[in-house]
Structure formats: structure tokens, C-alpha cells
Amino acid sequence: MANQPHRTEDLQQASFLIILVVVSLLMAVIVYPFAQPLLWAALVAIMFQPLYRNLLRRLRGRRNPAAGLSLLVIFFVVMVPAAWVASMVLEQALVLVATLQQQPLDLAALFDAVYTNLPNVAQEAVDRSGWADIAMVQTRLQELLTESAGMIATQAVSIGSGALGFLLSFGVGLYVMFFLLRDGERIGRTVLCAVPVERSIADRLASRFLGIVRATIKGTGVVAVVQGVLGTVTLMIAGVPSALLFGVIMAIFALVPVIGSGAVWVPAGIWLLISGETWQGLFVLLTGFFVISSADNVLRPILVGRDTGIPDWIILITTLGGISLVGFSGIVLGPLVAGLFLASWSILREQRDEDEEAQRQDGILIDAAGHSTASTAAD
């Protein structure tokens, strides 16, 4: 009967853990419709925490006004310009597709201009590959343009019809962001104390997580925006239509390792050269190579200060996987998960190394104590 209280306590503890897991899963299911706005609210709150602290010092410790003022700055400096750019990009995309539908590209003439300047060996290779059938390519391009126009129009209509849901998610994100700015550090400390992990490991994970967020948002997001702006200005100078649209596409590609912004400015420069606009094409290619591509090497060390320790091939896979899983938010979520995955395994390895070193030191002390005892007995 002596073991009965222990069995009762074990049963109660197991029951409590089951209840905790079930309630946590239910909470996750309920919050899931607002997962993306909550994710972005948390990331923005982390990035603008220095702004909040600065305002908190200026307002003499008044947390609510400091958080409210920080939220206003974020809204008017970041969100309003982003919404304006998005509307301009959508408008340019519709105009570009409509123009290409009304005035189709004469691929045959462009192909003949390039094909006649190729050496005989290259012409024979093109003939064998089947790329000389320009009529088929032209037909497929027109079908693609028709599908693109329909897709863009459908997305615009869906955005308009889902305006209430968008406004609700946007409002929830702003509301949560206010409290994360104000109470983020306290919430973080509470979570670290409550999580069922050794405190030193939890502190390391939190530190790595903040470093990864900083590197992902500042070192990747800001650099991508800068490359997009530089690309937009370059294409505008070269006279490329819908330069803002292509600049935004350039910024999106800049977020993906290996591919980068060159996926836009290289074809644009080559297209200008083929079209006979020689100086514009050379200007785009040279500016892209020496200015746009160099922005990453110049700005990333300044903004981040250190590497994330995540290989580019892992970032590429997780970014593409995140996009396929959760949409645009996967651009940030994928590298974050990859960083936490690598950080967790790295911490596990560090813990093992520390344990092995502690055992080695204990063995040395035991041997030293044994030798000391033996020498005392011999004396």
C-alpha cells in the first residue's frame, strides 16, 4: 500500500500532461486561421523592438504611449508604402499583359535576327534541338498570356471579395503587434521559464532564434528591397516598360539563394540587346553585375554583422518548400525553421561535448585523488 500514493501522483501527472497536449492542440487549431498575421506581427515586433525601447526612454517609461507611437511609425513608414507599391504593381501587371495580348511579340523576327548571326555549328545544334519551330513557341506564349491575364484578374477579384477577411487579419496583426512591442520581452522570459527544457538550452535557442530573425529580415529582406529599388531605377533609365513590376519581381528573386535578382536583369539586358537597344542593354547588364549584385556583399555585413551559419543550399530548399506549403510567408518561415533546426542540433552537440569534457575532468580528479591516497599510504 506504500506505493499507492506514488502511483496516484504518477497517474495525475500523466493525466495533466495529456490535458496539456490536448488543450495546446485545440489552441493551435483555433489560432491557425490567423497564423500568418500572427507570424508577421511577431517578426515585425522583434525587428522594431529597438525603436520601442528608444521611444520608451524618451517617454520616461510609459509603455502604452511608446508602443502606440511605435505602431504608428511602423504603419505609416512600412505598411502604407508597401500597400501603395502593391497596388501599382498590380496595375502595371494588368497593363503589361493587356499590351502583350493586343501587340504580340514577333518572336519569329527576333529569332531570325539572332539565328542568322550564329555560327554554322550553333545553327545546326538549334535545328537538331527543335527550337527552330517558332510558331509553336508563339502559340504557347499567347496561351500563357491569356492564362496570366485570367489569373491576375481572378486574384484581383478574390482580393476584393475577401476584403473583410483581409481587414480582419490585418487588424488582428496590428492589435497583437501592439502587445508584442509592449510586452514582448516579458512574454519571452515567461515562455523560457515555462518551456520544459533546461534553462541554459532554452536561452541558447532564444538567442539563436533572435539572431536568425535578424539575419533573415535585415540581412535578406532589406537587401532584397534595396536590390529591387536599384533594379527598378535601372530599368526605368533603360526605358523598360512596367519597371516597377519587374523591380518587385527582382526583389522576390533576390530572396531566393542561387537564383537571385539576376533572374530578371540578365534576361532584360539580353532582350534589350536583341531588340537593337545596345546601350540600354549594356547599361542594364553592367549595372546589374557591378551595382545590383554587389549590394548583397556590401549591405549584408553592415546589417547583420555575422553569418547565420545556414548553407545556401538549405536556405534554397527551405525557402521553396515554405512557399509551396504556406505561400509568400514561406520566404521567411522556411529559413527560420532551417535555422532553428540547425541551431537545435548544434546545441545538442555542444551539450554532448560539455558532458564529455566534464566526465574527463572528473576522471582526472579521481585519478589525482587516487594517486594522492596511494602516496600517503606508502609514506
Each residue's pLDDT tens digit, 158-202: 555 556 677 888 888 899 999 999 988 888 888 777 777 777 777
Each residue's pLDDT tens digit, 15-32: 888 888 899 899 889 988
Q: What is the mean pLDDT of the chain?
A: 77
13 vs 25: CA distance, rounded Å? 18
Give residue 123's identity as a one-letter amino acid code: Q
141 vs 294: CA distance, rounded Å? 33
Lowest mean pLDDT, pick from 83-87, 177-181, 326-330: 326-330
Lowest mean pLDDT, pick from 122-126, 148-152, 220-224, 342-346: 148-152
Q: What is the pTM of this model?
A: 0.69
Q: What is the mean pLDDT of residues 351-365?
A: 75
Distances in Å between the Cα of 120 and the Cα atoms of 92, 127, 128, 133 are: 41, 10, 12, 18
Percent of the chain with pLDDT over 70: 74
32 vs 246: CA distance, rounded Å? 33
